[in-house]
A and B are shown apart, each in its own frame.
Chain A
């Protein structure tokens, strides 16, 4: 921030897409944080992020749903 004058001109060009650059990138970050928070509940049982490698305490467990657990942990880890 601020982005280049080229980017700012592009973001306002009538040919579109007209976009608020900073706000849209912030929105992206918030969506990723919401994903992490949801996964924290599903895997760790809390909105507070604990261990990324082997979360426990949520409804989806390694023992009972191993394949689903591993897929979700793979996504959870990369969202950090």
Chain B
């Protein structure tokens, strides 16, 4: 079997006959690195952009109506994900800022959970609050 065929079969992963180790072909590795997606740092905004991309492809629409499932209303389910994120932001605004109106994202004050009295919990909640924006 030639190497090209083996790489295609194994998707770029092969055995090094000299060392017996499993190795990944460099081009494949670079491709995987390029394919990786960064974590969101602004969940509500990113979901809004995903909603603005509607209408989705005919492939996605066909997939979402395939009897093998899952049958899903694409736009509505993405909107539901965004609404849940907005509900989380509102709850955190109450817990940290004492109001449903979002104030400072970096150092909210006025809510029952305070930096002075519950700093570990406060820092965890502020970390979540900041990336929901």
Contacts and interface: CB of A to CB of B under 8 A. Distances in A.
What is the interface of chain A mostly: helix, strand, loop, or mixed?
helix
Interface in B39-61: 39-41, 43, 46-47, 49-50, 53, 56-61
Interface string A40-80: 01100110000001100011111111011011111101100
What is the interface of chain B mostly: helix, strand, loop, or mixed?
helix
A28 B112 contact: no
Which size class do B's interface residues fall under?
A: 35 or more
Given A3-B118, A72-B50, A42 B94 contact: no
Contact of B37 (A4, A58, A74): A74
A62 B125 CA distance: 32
A35 B74 contact: no
B88 to A, nearest CB: 5
Contacts of B88: 28, 31-32
Given A3-B113, A35-B85, A21 B95 contact: yes
Given A4-B118, A7-B114, A72-B78, A19 B46 contact: no
Interface residues of A, number: 47
Contacts of A39: 81
Interface string B69-92: 110101001101100110110011
Contact of A41 (B43, B50, B77, B95): B77
B128 interface: yes
Interface of B: 35-41, 43, 46-47, 49-50, 53, 56-61, 63-64, 66, 69-70, 72, 74, 77-78, 80-81, 84-85, 87-88, 91-92, 94-95, 98-99, 111-114, 116-118, 121, 125, 128, 131
